[in-house]
Amino acid sequence: MTTKNLLVELFVEELPPKALKKLGDAFASVLADQLKVQGLAAADAVVTPFASPRRLAVHVTGVAAKAADKAVSQKLMPVSVGLTADGQPTPALLKRLAGLGAGASAVSGLKRAMDGRAEALFFDSVQPGVDLAEGLQKALHEAIAKLPIPKVMTYQLETDCEQPGWSSVHFVRPAHGLVALHGADVVPVKALGLTAGNTTHGHRFEAAMDPVLLADADAYAATLAKDGAVIASFAERKAEIARQLAAAAAQIGGGCQPIEDDALLDEVTALVERPNVLTCQFEPEFLAVPQECLILTMKANQKYFPLLDAAGKLTNKFLVVSNISPADASAVIGGNERVVRPRLADAKFFFDQDRKKTLESRVEGLGKVVYHNKLGTQGERVERVRAIARAIGQQLGGDALAQSADTAARLAKTDLLTDMVGEFPELQGIMGGYYARHDGLGDDIAFAIEDHYKPRFAGDELPRTVTGVVVALADKLETLVGMFGIGNLPTGDKDPFALRRHALGVIRMLVEKDLPLALTALLAGALPAFGDKISDATPALADFIYDRLRGYIDSELIFPAAPIEGAAAGNTGTTVSAGYSSNEVDAVLALRPQRLADVAQRLQAVRAFAALPEAPALAAANKRIGNILKKSEGEGAAVNPALFAEPAEKDLYAAMQATVPAASAKFDAGDYTASLQALAALRTPVDAFFDGVMVNADDPALKANRLGLLKALHEAMNRVADLSRLAA
């Protein structure tokens, strides 16, 4: 069967830039998958997506003009239903065959085969392969229907002359052209009121010709680049922009680098068809404004790339990605410089105005800002965060830390009332830090205010100081305990208050900062701050946090625990790394370890224990002991050596006396690996006990004594982890 490469393009008006890459990938993958399902393209066909501001396209290799015929075996009905006792077809069978286009003569060709417990009739036929025009029409319809369109537009399209009038079309943007080329041949398909051809359109202003004639499917990208002045591939265009940005920064010198922002790069890639990077600048006096403000306004409002010097400080130069390449770019450069100047002036005005009022003077205003109708105002929320922060600070560092945390918590939300944060909500916390320094509050309070939202996203850095950690913990705990307390839980993919992110933030701070805080006590300690506004949902919240902890452990990231500057407790930290088996994680989390910073050491200890030759037998014995104790709940007594009747129970007791104290001492010292490994010596006496001792003895005293021995053994074995979870 001969094959040719296929090219399909939808030419449309400017597509939403933030959705372009996703639209292009979806269009290509769905259309290609549909061709493969219909047998028109091989499973290993190479699929190349194209997406530019005004087009979605896909190139598929090795597409057949007609799919191969396919043998099909269809189950009709049970033999008992389709044939009479003497083997004649029933009316039901004849009707079914007629529906398949076969007559009574096909009865003799039916096959019998077992289908479950009954014998059934099967009809074998050859299904003709679909031709490309029909198959591509179906694939194109599916690709359009399944596009992840953020918002559908409705527009009117004039119908053909046979039925004059107008029809409504629903699509992401008005479509104006359709290309479908199988090699050099046009495939006669239709979509969105358009008929496929072999011409498209290039750059609005710089195309060498219009329309652009495509010789064949393989000439698409090269022809568009040459005659249409368009880089059709999203990936190639993105790489070209990155190359030009780096080259422009290098030309400026001084170690300048464009700011790294992949989302901005994707958005700009979706805005231009043939990128041309230009260097612009603004007045140096604007650099007196915090660079976060200037960077945000240039990125968010203008889609510019600010330039940073070698030290990471903002310069007064920025890069613009233009969609045109004039011989003299001075007008384009001057226009962009004029556009950005009012934006920077606004930022400077907001900054100057905000500093006329202290953060302290804004505290009262938080009482007029509604936080949640069931949880009160931001002012009430601040009081709750303060109470939680004081308690945590007292536990971690005494009165001094409690006082600094209280001060930072009182002021942390005040920048919500500033003009700058009103204009740029993304700067909340950051601007509070700047204004705190201006008010003379010092770096410790300023850092805590700036950092109390951290971590804001997966992989974000944690607060830099112990005060910041305390306030960030308090802020996240207030949100979690409050939202769970009013029943406002995340469901499915909906999490409007980012409770999953807050829970992960709590986990990361407890683990990576190696905080000596018990989770249950931490949650319970936050409850009193709410008074009677909420119910106690901390058990459900604890379950939620342990579920997030599992995901944190299972992630492929490695999180090194960093010590806190000025912390009164905690060691230098450990590492939680990916790669633990589900059994190992289950074993540790089954005990609900209260100090999450210990989870890493517990996991390492369990992994080391699981590698011992004694581990499988001890894990199986532990599981058996657990089952026995569950069935005998409430029974058992303190172990009395005088009641031992069998040598095996005496030997086990003696082995425990020699082993358990040392294992417990290692556990108390935090050496979980040594604690578990010490228990390996119990394998032989444990095996002997189960081989030679009847636990459920007829004598109640003997039975209770043996259950007491097993209970003591079970507790000793499961201090680090539930070893029964390691049993196969």
Q: Where in 17-174 does DSSP place strands (E)? A: 47-52, 55-64, 70-78, 111-115, 118-127, 153-158, 166-171
More confident of the two residues 15 and 554: 15
Per-residue pLDDT band for 352 (boundaries 50, 70, 90) equals: very high
pLDDT at res. 631: 84
Q: pLDDT, tens digit, for every residue of 532-550?
A: 999 999 999 999 999 999 9
Alpha-carbon span 405 to 466, nearest angstrom: 9
Instruction: Kindly state the tokens that stand for 618.
Output: 């001890």
- Which stretch of 159-168, 206-215, 236-245 has the lowest confidence by average pLDDT? 159-168
- Angle formed by the axes of helices 499-512 and 538-554, nearest 10°: 70
More confidently predicted of 712 and 73:
712
227-244 pLDDT, tens digit each: 999 999 999 999 999 999
Report the alpha-carbon distance of residue 240 to residue 237 in Å, rounded: 5
The pLDDT-based confidence of 102 (bands split at 50, 70, 90) is confident
| Residue of 105 and 285 predicted with greater confidence | 285
Cis peptide before 188 (omega within 30 of 0): no
Q: Residue 34 — pLDDT band, cuts 50, 70, 90? A: very high
166-171 and 175-182 strand pairing: unpaired
Checking if the pLDDT of 578 tops 70, the result is: no
Read off the amino acid at residue 492: G
- Under the banding of pLDDT at 50, 70 and 90, the label for residue 491 is confident
Tell me the average pLDDT across 370-398: 96
SS3 for 200? Answer: strand
Whether 107 contacts 152, CB under 8 Å: no
**Rounded average pLDDT over 379-395:** 97
State the CB neighbour count (10 A cutoff) for residue 277.
22
Give the per-residue pLDDT at 161: 52
Q: Please state at what angle helix 262-269 crosses helix 20-37, rounded to 10 degrees.
A: 70
Residue carrying the six token digits 């500057």: 565
Whether residue 3 has pLDDT greater than 80: yes
Q: Name the nearest CA neighbour of 194 among 231, 152, 141.
A: 141
Residue count (the chain) = 728
Distance CA 663, CA 499 (A): 39
β-strand pairing of 276-281 with 314-322? antiparallel
pLDDT for 165 equals 66
> Would the pLDDT of 635 be above 50?
yes
What does the pLDDT read at residue 493? 80
Res. 636 pLDDT band, cuts 50 70 90 = low
Provide the token pair at 692: 């030679």
- Contact yes or no for 359/440 (Cβ under 8 A): no
Indicate whether 567 pLDDT > 80.
no
Taking each helix axis from N to C end, the angle separating 378-411 and 519-526, rounded to the nearest 10 degrees, works out to 120
528 pLDDT higher than 80: yes
pLDDT value for 512: 92
- When pLDDT is averaged across residues 93-98 and rounded to a whole number, the result is 88
Mean pLDDT score, 93-116? 85
Q: Using 50, 70 and 90 to split pLDDT, how confident is the model at 166?
A: confident
Does 420 have pLDDT greater than 80? yes
Non-local (6+) Cβ contacts of 79 within 8 A are 112, 118, 119, 120, 121
Lowest mean pLDDT among 10-24, 51-65, 113-127, 366-380: 113-127
Res 423 pLDDT > 60: yes
Instruction: Grade residue 572 by pLDDT with cuts at 50, 70 and 90.
Output: very low
Query: What distance in Å separates the CA atoms of residue 452 and residue 454, rounded to the nearest whole number?
Result: 5
Sign of the CA dihedral running 690, 696, 699, 701: positive
Do residues 23 and 147 touch, judged by C-beta distance below 8 A?
yes
Angle at 105 between CA 99 and CA 110, to 5 degrees: 75
Contact 154, 102 (CB under 8 A): no
Overall average pLDDT of the 633-639 stretch: 74
Q: Residue 1 pLDDT more than 70? A: no
pLDDT at 159 over 80: no
CA 523 to chain CA mean position, Å: 26
Model confidence at 108, pLDDT cuts 50, 70, 90, reads confident
Mean pLDDT of the chain: 91
Confidence band, pLDDT 50/70/90 cuts, at residue 106:
confident
Q: What is d(CA 78, CA 112) in angstroms, rounded to the nearest whole number?
A: 9
CB 306 within 8 A of CB 298: yes
Torsion sign over Cα 660, 661, 667, 672: negative
- Pair 360, 441: CB distance under 8 Å: no
Backbone angles phi, psi at 408, to 5 degrees: -65, -40
CA 223 to chain CA centroid, Å, is 39
CA separation for the pair 148, 139 (Å, rounded): 16
Question: Residue 570 has what pLDDT?
Answer: 40
pLDDT (0 to 100) of residue 457: 87
* pLDDT interval class at 342 (50, 70, 90): very high
Average pLDDT over residues 682-695: 90
> Which tokens go with 63?
């597409």
Encode 359-382 in three state secondary structure.
CHHHCHHHHHCEEECCCEEHHHHH
131: CB partners within 8 A, 6+ apart = 65, 66, 67
pLDDT at 562: 40
pLDDT: which is higher, 380 or 643: 380
Cα distance between residue 27 and residue 665, in whole Å? 63
Distances (CA, A) of 265 to 305, 308, 458: 9, 16, 20
> In which region does residue 579 sit, left (phi positive, over 0), alpha (psi from -120 to 50) or beta (all else)?
left
CB-count exposure of residue 312 (10 Å: 0-12, 13-18, 19+): exposed
CA distance 23 to 148: 6
Backbone angles phi, psi at 69, to 5 degrees: -65, 150
Determine the angle formed by the axes of helices 378-411 and 466-485, rounding to 10 degrees: 170
Q: What is the DSSP string of 248-316?
A: HHHHH-TT-EEPP-HHHHHHHHTT-SS-EEEEEE--GGGGGS-HHHHHHHHHHHH--EEEE-TTS-EEE
Give 525-549 as a DSSP string.
Answer: HHGGGGTTSS---HHHHHHHHHHHH
Residue 641 DSSP symbol: G
Q: Does residue 632 or residue 278 have the better pLDDT?
A: 278
Q: What's the rounded Cα separation, in Å, for the pair 532 and 509?
A: 29
Residue 97 vs residue 227, higher pLDDT:
227
